[in-house]
Each structure stands twice: as C-alpha cells, then as structure tokens.
A = this chain, B = another copy of it.
Amino acid sequence: MDRQLTQRGEERRRQLMAYATSRFAENGFHPTSVAEITEGMGVGKGVFYWYFDSKEALLRAILADAQLDLRRRQRAALADAATPSERIERGIRASMRWSIDHADYFRLFQFAATDERFSDGLRKGESVAVKDAATQLRAAMDAGEIAPGDPVLLSHALLGVHTHLVHLVHRGVLEPTDEVIDTAVSFCLHGLLGRR
C-alpha cells in the first residue's frame, strides 16, 4: 500500500486516522468495526480499503504517527537544557505532559502493549526512548549528578512512574495539573526517603 496520494487523498487519510483514533480510544480496537468507522464518517467501505490494507494496518499507522509526535516533543524539550539531570527532568515533564494531552494516543499505546500484533512496533519506539533516557542517565552518573546504577533499568523505572500516573489522570483519579508531574519528578529524583 504505497499508493501515491493526491493532496485531497492525504487529507482523507488523515481524517480516517483521526476518527479511528477516537473510536478506538473510546470503544476499544476489537469492538470498533470498520463499518462503524466508515459509517461514522459517511463514506463507503471501499474508501477505507483504498487507504489502508487492513484494520490492523490502520492502527499501526496511527501508532507510528503518535510515536513520531511524542519523539518530537521529547526532542524539543531537551534542546536547551544545561546539565544532564536537567535534561532528565525535562524529559520526564515533556513525556508526561504529552501523554496527558493525548489521552487517545495514550490509550492506544496501552492497548497495543497487550496485543502481540502491535506490541512489536511499539517496542522499537519505546526502546529508542529508553536508550535516549539511558544515555542521559549515564551522562548524569558520569557527571556525579546522580547515584550510579543500571541506566537502562532506571530508565524503565522512570517510564513506569510516568505511565502509571498518567493513567490515573486519564482515569480521572488525578487532576491533569502540574502538581502530578511535580510529584513524579520529585519521586524519581529523591524516592521516598530523600527530602524534597
């Protein structure tokens, strides 16, 4: 499906992805049928298969888009940070902010992680992000800013805190304010025993 699309075609494709994203996020991937998507957009079923090989391919495309966007945000956040530990903090903040702002994408990530057919694609993106974070952590360790340890493992710990707290926000348990992010950053930097 490497169709050469006209500008209007690109537009359509994007609309389909946007609409599908909201349906998948709201109803779940399996329960949302292709018919629901095309009918909801008021187009024939053929349109769908003109732009996507399958329902599966559609989700993959959505996920790839989302990951790209997240990466962009993360990169931008690190741009003008002075020290490694500042970069770490900014990375956490940027990731959480993005995840809070993009509830739909976040839900799709969560779902995709439970399904073999999509988790592989996800892993790659995640592993890139983790590697980046690990690089920062290593630099911070080398600079003596943080205690030594396995940078990859610690990156995952950060990710765990990030993911879970964002999830709570989306569930409505926490307000989507900076306070949550502050707490996350503080916890990641000082743990339970450290002072804040």
Residues of A within 8 A of B (CB): 28, 30, 85, 88, 107, 110-111, 113-116, 123, 137, 140, 145-150, 153-154, 156-157, 159-165, 167-168, 171, 174, 180, 183-184, 186-196
**Are A187's CB and B157's CB within 8 A?**
yes
One complex includes copies of this chain to the number of 4
- Chief secondary structure at chain A's binding surface: helix
Contacts of A190 in B (CB 8 A): 147, 190-194
**Are A154's CB and B192's CB within 8 A?**
yes
Known: A110-B114, A157-B183, A189-B193. 10 other contacts (CB 8 A): A30-B30, A137-B192, A140-B192, A147-B196, A153-B174, A154-B183, A154-B187, A160-B162, A163-B163, A194-B194
Contacts of A189 in B (CB 8 A): 191-193
Whole-angstrom distance between the alpha carbons of A181 and B56 in the complex? 36
**Are A168's CB and B156's CB within 8 A?**
yes
**Are B28's CB and A150's CB within 8 A?**
no
**Are B174's CB and A165's CB within 8 A?**
no
Contacts of A148 in B (CB 8 A): 196
Whole-angstrom distance between the alpha carbons of A143 and B150 in the complex? 31
